[in-house]
Amino acid sequence: MRRRLSISIRERSAVSAITAGGIDTIDRIAGNLAGLSGWRRVAAALLLGCSAIAALPPFHALPLLVVAFTGLLWLLSGSGAGRRAFWDGWWFGLGFHVPGLYWIANALLVEGTRFLWMVPLSLLALPAVLAIFSGAASWLARRVADRGIAGPLALAACWTLAEYLRGIMFTGFPWNLIGYAWTASDAMLQSTAVTGIYGLSLLTVALAAMPALLAGPARAPMAIAGAALVLVGLWAGGALRLALVERANVPDVVLRIVQAGIAQHHKWDPELRAAHMRRHLELSAAPGAERITHVIWPETAVPYFLTEEPVVRAALAQIVPTGGLAIVGAPRIERLPGNEIRLWNSLHVVDSAGAIVATYDKAHLVPFGEYVPLRRFLPIEKITYGAVDFSAGPGPTALIVPGLPALGALICYEVIFPGEVVGSGQRPRWLVNLTNDAWYGTSTGPYQHFAMAQVRAVEEGLPMVRAANTGISGVIDGYGRVVARLGLNKAGVVDVPLPAALPSPTYYAAIGNSPVIGICLAVIGGIRLRRRLRINN
């Protein structure tokens, strides 16, 4: 009996020693990060930012979110409440955005050295500007919170507010929001039907930063256990939602998505335009065409002004199934007095007689890509083909066309804006995203773009049909499940039924981003008030 008791005491002592050793190690890591200075502190922030981007598509290294945001919180604990906190967050943001957006430079090299001078701007200047948002979030989080669970909550609220502001200021660029890390899991995405992507970002940063509470005198292991339960509950709720629904399709609609795989440096070659058109026509008429009802081509797949080319419209009519439609991307022109013209990046719906029955003009244009902001003061060329800036359309609307449910059109990166893909009028029953990601070559950009389209489908409860010149094309149902997909740099077609929309709009579709932004402001205000009251007492 004494021997058993002696062994039990020794075992407990060993466990205690191991536990103490682990706690000492965590304290040492946290202390070392907080105490860094000079280039070592900069390097640590950059590496933590790189860790965060590795958790996003296409890599989905999700455990690195814990490394990134727990590490950032520990780093901020040694920064004080002044400029140092801002610069810690700024360097973190630079480490996040440089590897996250490097692919933009590919677009500048399509035409050789013409835009070479802009490469440093895309590789460093743009990430440096975007990093201001993460710097401001870190500064505010450090001023608001002092210790305990308030730290992760404040960081999550401030980070989410910064993401939201990044998505709306200066025309907006909500690319690579932290919540997109969960596109690896259909179940985890289901919460965006309620909170949107910003709500998922809020939860993700809070949960990822919670292990920071393992360090220091005010340890809170129960808070970490609670965070783990929230994570499991979020997944279980999403899995249950998916398990309770049956896949449903729109009757008598089979789509053919055409992905021609035309390299960007060949796309606008005048001598190749006819060949590009034939390529799309041949793929549209490829074996199995007798089973389809509608054909969809990518952004600017038609290299002509369709409104002025009856011969081209007649060629299109030949591949449109009887009673069906072709949905194609093409530039649109309006000729004005004095040889002036206006251009739009457009989607046309063409019937089997070659008539254009509906048109959508892209509303959210890419700065410097499709137009030059402040052109009067910036005498430079836009990156896309042609000297004339594109004009903006009136905004998202539901197109009513024969034989199909009302459709919402999105061209290129219009799909990345949460809460802005459906207009205020009649609600569409599906979304069509025409894009040309050939600009970005074989890079992470097209994967990130596809992931954002996937989340828009869940948020709105609407199927998303995506046609991309070089990929990634596919069909996503209203729950974010990829029904069909044609990979990057693969030429071919995808034939697939059109998934049905959810019976009623999602909570997010009805309410939008306001509740999550309100929660962020309430968290920041509540933590700040609690701190003041504690200080005054």
End-to-end CA distance of the chain: 54
Q: 412, 414, 420, 460: which is the annotated catalytic residue?
A: 412
Contact 433, 415 (CB under 8 A): yes
Cα–Cα distance, 513 to 419 (Å, whole number): 7
Q: Of all helices (H) and strands (E), which one includes residue 494?
A: strand 492-499
Which of 299, 420, 459, 460 is the catalytic position? 299
- Give phi and psi for 382, each to the nearest 5: -75, 160
For the question of residue 246 being annotated catalytic, the response is: no
Q: Is position 520 annotated as part of the catalytic site? A: no
C-alpha–C-alpha distance, residues 477 and 166, integer Å: 28
Q: What CA–CA distance (Å, rounded) separates 280 from 443? A: 24
Q: In what order do the strands lie in the sheet with 325-336?
A: 356-361, 340-351, 325-336, 294-296, 249-259, 492-499
- SS3 at position 251: strand
Residue 14: how many CA atoms within 13 Å on its side-chain side? 6
Q: Which residue in 4, 84, 82 sits closest to 36, CA to CA?
A: 84
Catalytic annotation present for 111:
no
Q: Which of 362, 382, 420, 460 is catalytic?
A: 362
Task: Give the count of alpha carbons within 13 A of 243, CB side only.
Answer: 6
Side-by-side strand order, sheet with 482-486: 398-399, 407-411, 430-435, 464-468, 473-476, 482-486
| Angle, CA 450 vertex, CA 123 and CA 406 arms, to 5° | 130
In the block, tokens 């907006």 appear at: 172
SS3 state at 348: strand
DSSP 8-state code for residue 56: S
Q: Which residues are marked as active site? A: 299, 362, 412
